[in-house]
Amino acid sequence: MWDFLKQTYSNDKNVSKILQVEEELLNLQQGDQSPAQYFASLKSIYE
């Protein structure tokens, strides 16, 4: 996943976007979400 993020946002203007996405991914928790809902949440972060 980290390689995908680097390739997607790999120019100097997107460093802040990479950090934002990394932080959101690190803070994401499944909680009461079903696996499908959790995956959708995960996917929406980096789209």
What is the number of domains present in the chain? Answer: 1
pTM, 2 dp = 0.60
Structure tokens at 19: 């950090």
Distance CA 31, CA 38 (A): 9
The range of the structural domain enclosing residue 10 comes to 2-45
What pLDDT digit, counting tens, does each position of 8-36 carry?
766 666 777 778 888 999 999 999 999 99
